[in-house]
């Protein structure tokens, strides 16, 4: 086999790896890490075969370029961080998934990869639902290795991650039902039923207020994608509002979690010791915003956040933290307002680039992912977390890879 033949085989294997990531990310950190590493290895093997063309495509492709620049900005902040170099680089490397976006785009630039990636993701979510619902009714109690906590009936990931992924899956399944409603009505009904199972799981089974907000936002956006007039959109939003009201009235867990929000907001005091989830987050946001105001241009540097935050709350009863649970504040605090501008520009560019995708399904799904991360990032540092950060890179790259292929990122042809 010639080198170009090997490069073509490596890219085919990388495409299979990207498809497999759709299944791996909602299931296991070890599993998805190995698969992602193999995709990167395949890229290293194949890249020299069409390096100039691939590099040109990435540089001229705004989402990939912005993602890489954001990672570079965070990595560059290690230079002035007061943390030890090893800790600083380690903190910046948690955003390495951003740099994987162009690699995943390169690997997924065939329709078959995108199809199987979506199938894998849906299959993984179904497994999560089986574990979650089974745990809720106690049927897995005799099986080792599965979740066996009826009061905490998650799947393979913790509650925030579980609800986040299941909310996105519900949205994807509704989009599939919309696409199939005429040509494949039975498949559309099955997809809609799975979507309802996802929504019910988020609202009534698994705790997690981020999931409540994200699933509501995605349902509202879905309502606008199927509505042909403002009147029908308004009716759809009213139906969704009624669903959430029913969840509040019909679910003790849902109503208790929402009531806690109001109580925590009323009782919060600046600088006071606060053990509540909402109260702590308000304190984190306020103090981190102060750090950003103190270092607007450069931030405090990767790895230095915890030390600087602790100094900021010194002398008060407020708890220290290593994570403000907000993507925007965490990135701005580490690398300054320029890095924050890059993140916002990345989301805006992804939204705009969605209109160039070949199918309505891919366009709306990409925009749904942007909505989920843009809103979820207000309450969590998703891009800092392993599963969510890798999912963002995988989902955006996979959906965008069709336009990447048309811009000249095609795989090298195997030698005869």
- Read off the pLDDT of residues 350-367 as tens digits, 9 standing for 90 and up: 999 998 888 899 999 999
pLDDT tens track for 185-226? 999 999 999 999 999 999 888 877 888 889 989 998 998 888
Query: How high is the pLDDT of residue 48?
Result: 73
Q: Which among 247, 321, 314 is positioned nearest to 279, based on CA atoms? A: 321
Does 213 or 340 have the greater pLDDT score?
340
The model's confidence at residue 22, banded by pLDDT at 50, 70 and 90, is very high
The model's confidence at residue 247, banded by pLDDT at 50, 70 and 90, is low
pLDDT tens track for 273-292? 555 566 677 888 888 999 99
Query: How high is the pLDDT of residue 46?
Result: 82
Query: How high is the pLDDT of residue 158?
Result: 86
d(CA 180, CA 207): 32
pLDDT tens track for 54-100? 666 566 688 989 999 999 999 999 999 999 999 999 999 999 999 99
Give the Å distances, CA to CA, from 101 to 61, 97, 167, 206, 386.
Answer: 11, 7, 22, 30, 14
pLDDT tens track for 106-156? 888 787 889 999 999 999 999 999 989 888 887 766 566 666 566 678 888
Share of the chain above pLDDT 90, in %: 49
Please answer whether residues 336 and 293 qualify as being in contact, where contact means their C-beta atoms are separated by less than 8 angstroms: no
pLDDT of 50 strictly over 80: no
pTM for this model (two decimals): 0.88
Mean pLDDT, range 383-406, rounded to an integer: 87
Average of per-residue pLDDT values in the chain? 84
pLDDT of 413 strictly over 60: no
In sign, the C-alpha dihedral spanning 27, 31, 35, 36 is positive
d(CA 132, CA 140): 10
Query: How high is the pLDDT of residue 95?
Result: 95
Burial readout 130-161 (b: 16 or more C-beta within 10 A, e: otherwise): ebbbbbbeeebeeeeeebbeeeebbbbbebbb
d(CA 237, CA 404): 35
Cα atoms in the 13 Å half-sphere on the side-chain side of 250: 10
Mean pLDDT, range 312-333, rounded to an integer: 88
Please answer whether residues 337 and 297 qualify as being in contact, where contact means their C-beta atoms are separated by less than 8 angstroms: yes
Query: How high is the pLDDT of residue 178?
Result: 92
């Amino acid at each position: 086999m010639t080198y170009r033949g090997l490069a073509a085989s490596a890219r085919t294997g990388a495409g299979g790896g990207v498809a497999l990531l759709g299944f791996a990310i909602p299931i296991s950190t070890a599993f998805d890490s190995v698969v992602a590493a193999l995709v990167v290895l395949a890229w290293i093997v194949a890249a020299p075969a069409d390096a100039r063309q691939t590099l040109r495509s990435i540089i001229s492709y705004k989402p990939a370029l912005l993602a890489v620049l954001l990672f570079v900005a965070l990595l560059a902040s290690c230079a002035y961080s007061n943390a030890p170099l090893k800790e600083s680089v380690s903190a910046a490397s948690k955003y390495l998934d951003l740099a994987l976006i162009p690699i995943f785009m390169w690997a997924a630039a065939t329709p078959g990869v995108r199809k199987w990636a979506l199938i894998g993701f849906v299959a993984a979510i179904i497994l999560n639902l089986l574990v979650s619902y089974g745990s809720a009714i106690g049927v897995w109690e005799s099986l080792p290795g599965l979740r066996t906590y009826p009061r905490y009936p998650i799947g393979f990931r913790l509650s925030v991650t579980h609800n986040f992924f299941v909310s996105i899956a519900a949205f994807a399944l509704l989009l599939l039902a919309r696409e199939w409603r005429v040509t494949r009505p039975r498949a559309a009904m099955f997809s809609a039923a799975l979507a309802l199972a996802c929504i019910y799981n988020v609202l009534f089974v698994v705790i997690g207020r981020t999931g409540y907000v994200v699933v509501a936002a995605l349902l509202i956006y879905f309502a606008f994608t199927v509505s042909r007039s403002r009147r029908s959109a308004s009716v759809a939003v009213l139906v969704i509002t009624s669903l959430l009201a029913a969840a509040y009235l019909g679910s003790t867990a849902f109503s208790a979690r929402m009531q806690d929000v109001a109580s925590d907001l009323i009782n919060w005091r600046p600088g006071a010791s606060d053990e509540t989830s909402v109260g702590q987050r308000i304190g984190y946001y306020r103090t981190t915003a102060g750090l950003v105001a103190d270092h607007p241009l450069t931030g405090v540097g990767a790895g230095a956040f915890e030390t600087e935050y602790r100094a900021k709350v010194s002398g008060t009863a407020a708890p220290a933290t290593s994570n403000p649970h907000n993507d925007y504040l965490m990135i701005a605090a580490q690398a300054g307002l320029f890095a924050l501008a890059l993140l916002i520009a990345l989301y805006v560019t992804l939204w705009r680039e969605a209109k160039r995708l070949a199918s309505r399904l891919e366009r709306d799904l990409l925009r749904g992912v942007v909505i989920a991360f843009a809103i979820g990032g207000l309450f969590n540092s998703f891009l800092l977390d392993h599963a969510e950060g890798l999912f963002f890179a995988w989902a955006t790259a996979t959906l965008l890879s069709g336009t990447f292929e048309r811009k000249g990122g095609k795989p090298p042809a195997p030698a005869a």
